[in-house]
Structure 1
Amino acid sequence: MVKDTIDTFKLAASYTIGSHILPGKPISDISQKLHSKIKLKITTCDKIIEGLKKSEYDLGLIETPIFDNSLIYKEWMKDELVICSKMPIPNSIDENELGKYRLIARKKDSLTRIVISNFLENIGLSYKNFKSISEINNPTAMIQSIKWSKPNRENPTVAIVSQIAIEDELKRKELHISRIKNHPIIRKFYLIYNQNSHNYIDIEEIIKSLQNWR
């Protein structure tokens, strides 16, 4: 049973999770269970790790794990990174076709970009296979850039983003998705907290609630 003595529960979430997954029912459920206010900080995964180690946050939600022995990690959900476009595109894009796509990518120091770079390298490709690359520092801006991009059948603008983050747009057929060589890019989201946290019972209760959400 969650106690009702917490004044403010401090969450820290990475950009995709904090902007596209937590808002709505998940964060409302946490607030109701704890009978407390929720303070949500949206930042990068590495800063969440550092904040948890300093006890600045009660619970962190990250999309790219950075493992640290002082923290407890719980698997949350699987996510797939997909190529998305405003225009319908083939379900699978092969190496020769990549050269016609203009890619909107995360900054080079982004952990998500590193994940994608490693995936491309494993199948014998790189970001250089795309026609051109522009960089944006967060996934929400990437998605909005795709939604506002001008239709171009010869050189469509695309981005590699979380499929969960664009679920609503896919249902409304505002965006369309594809995969590279029909290979999925699967990753796991993690719920993490400091092993020395004074309210770990409450945190574990919230973790169970989030794990049962989807």
Structure 2
Amino acid sequence: MRKMFRLGTSPTIGTLILPGEPLIKIAERLDATIKLTIEPCDKIIAGVKNKTYELGLIESPIFDDELVYKEWMEDELVICSLNPLPENLAEEDLSHCTLLCRNTNSPTRVFINDFFNKVNLSYETFYSLSEIDNASAAIQGIKWSKPNKEHPTVAIVSELAIEEELKKDTLHRSRIKGKPMIRKFYLIYDRSEGTPSYVEDIITYLREEQ
């Protein structure tokens, strides 16, 4: 019987990047059956620390000295809207938008807030805010939003998460002030375990698949 390998991933990675061929290839390289669990980043980090997961793949790192973090991919967050907006949104444009945003303590919101600080913006720049629990809820909220030229509803989401919708023109993408909002994906494991032999192999494979 093949051994069980416990892999924890954050939602974007677990639902959009790993399903299908990548997960099959990782299982082959490990010669194991993959038990994949999708949870928020903070729970994946806690799970790696308490040995619930042997490996974690996350997009919003909360750095912890007990863990090793390996970068393996970049992801761009973009403004998502139901109807086309200018390709590059200035502060004046944003001030008319209703933003579907993550909860205050969400790692993604913290990352976006840091980006806003760098470009002299804030969440208060937007016309109004509406908090949601996760990226899927944000995307569905945009899809079901009523057209409003005066105050369009937007969300900041992973471009990977709306890749198919962009191809079909059912959703549209803009950037803030023409500046890419780039975050990194990380592979994490317990520092006390040393560096498992499979880590570099998996990282190499994931990078090749970008």
Task: Indicate yes or no: 2:142 matched with 1:146.
Answer: yes
1:6 CA displacement: 5.0
Distance in structure 1 (CA, Å) of the matches to 2:105 and 2:6: 26
What is aligned with 2:54?
A: 58
- Paired AA for residue 90 in structure 1: P
Secondary structure, aligned partner of 2:205: helix
Note if contact 2:6-2:55 (Cα within 8 Å) is conserved in structure 1.
Answer: yes
In the alignment, structure 1 residue 37 sits paired with structure 2 residue 33: yes
Any idea what the Cα deviations from partners look like across 1:125-171, whole Å, max 9, x if unmatched?
Answer: 11111111111111111112112222222221110001122111111
Distance in 1 between the 2:60 and 2:127 partners?
27
Shift of 1:47: 1.7
Q: 1:166 aligns with which of 147, 162, 167?
A: 162
**Cα–Cα, structure 1 residues 204 and 197, in superposed 2: closer, same or farther, change >3 Å?**
farther
CA RMSD of aligned residues (A): 1.8
Distance 1:90 1:158 in 2: 13
> What is the CA–CA distance in structure 1 between the aligned matches of 2:170 and 2:70, rounded to whole Å?
33
Aligned to 2:16: 20
- Higher mean alpha-carbon deviation, 21-30 vs 105-114, is at 21-30
**2:45 partner amino acid:** I
Shifted more, 65-74 versus 114-123: the winner is 65-74
TM-score, normalising length: structure 2? 0.92
* 1:103 to 2:99 alignment: yes
Residue 202, structure 1, aligned to residue 192, structure 2: no
Aligned length: 210
Deviation at 1:58, TM superposition (A): 1.3
SS at match of 1:23: coil
CA displacement at 1:202 relative to structure 2: 2.7
Q: 2:80, 2:188 → 1: CA distance? A: 29
* CA apart distance, 1:77: 0.7
Correspondences of 1:111-150 after superposition (within 5 Å): 111-150=107-146
Using the aligned pairs only, state the percent identity.
52
Letter in 1 for 2:167: K
| Cα pair 1:16 1:140 within 8 Å, conserved | no
Contact 1:55–1:197 under 8 Å retained in 2 = no
Structure 1 alignment gaps of length 5 or more: none
Between the aligned partners of 2:129 and 2:20, the Cα distance in structure 1 is 33
Counterpart amino acid of residue 35 in structure 1:
D
8 A Cα contact 1:63 1:187, kept in partner: yes
Q: CA deviation at 1:68?
A: 2.1
Alpha-carbon separation, structure 2, partners of 1:29 and 1:141: 30
- Classify the secondary structure of the residue corresponding to 1:90: coil
Q: Which runs of 4+ in 1 moved over 4 A?
A: none
* Structure 2: tracts of 5 or more residues without a match: none
Q: After superposing the two structures, state which structure 1 stretch, 132-141 or 30-39, moved more.
A: 30-39
CA distance in 1, matches of 2:53, 2:2: 13
Q: CA separation in 2, counterparts of 1:126 and 1:69?
A: 30
1:176 and 2:163 correspond: no
